[in-house]
Amino acid sequence: MEKQEILEELEKILKDEPWNATINLRKFIDRLKKSYVPKQRTSQQNRALWLYFRLVSDELNRGGLDLKKVLKPSVDIQWDEKNFHDYMWIPLQKAILHTNSTTKLKKLEDINKVYDHLHRFLSTKKEGKDWSVDVPFPSEQDVNNYKLDAMHGK
C-alpha cells in the first residue's frame, strides 16, 4: 500500500461512527500487517552491511590477500570496506539481483542472497585459490558493539 492510500483509508476510518472506527481500524491494521513489505533495508541493516564489508576487508588483509591476489593481479592494493563494496559485493549483487545499488536491496531477503554467494566463495577452498575467509554477517548486537567500540577508540 502506498503512503497516499494509507492516509486516505485512515481519513475514511476517522469519519466512521466510533464503534465502527475501532472495528475498521483493526481490519485496516490487519491488512497492513499482511501486505506491507518494506522496500529498503533499515539503517541498522545498512550499518551491518558496511560492518561486514570492513570485517571481511580486515580478514583478507590479515591473510595477506590484497586485491591483487583476489581480483587484480597487477597491483598491490589493501582492502577497505569501500573496495570490498565496489569490487566484491556490487559485481555479485548485480549478477544475482540485477541492481548495482545497495539502497535498492529488499531488507533481509536480498542481502542474504548476496551474502550467501559471497560467503561461499570466500570461505571455500578451491583449486587455484589459496585462502579461506570465513566472516559471519554481523548481528544487531555486533553492530551495536562495534558502534560502542568505535566511539571509544577501540
pLDDT tens readout for residues 20-46:
778 888 888 877 776 765 567 778 888
CA distances to 9, 10, 43, 45, 91 from 3, rounded to whole Å, are 10, 11, 20, 23, 33
pTM score, whole prediction? 0.55
Q: What is the mean pLDDT of residues 105-111?
A: 82
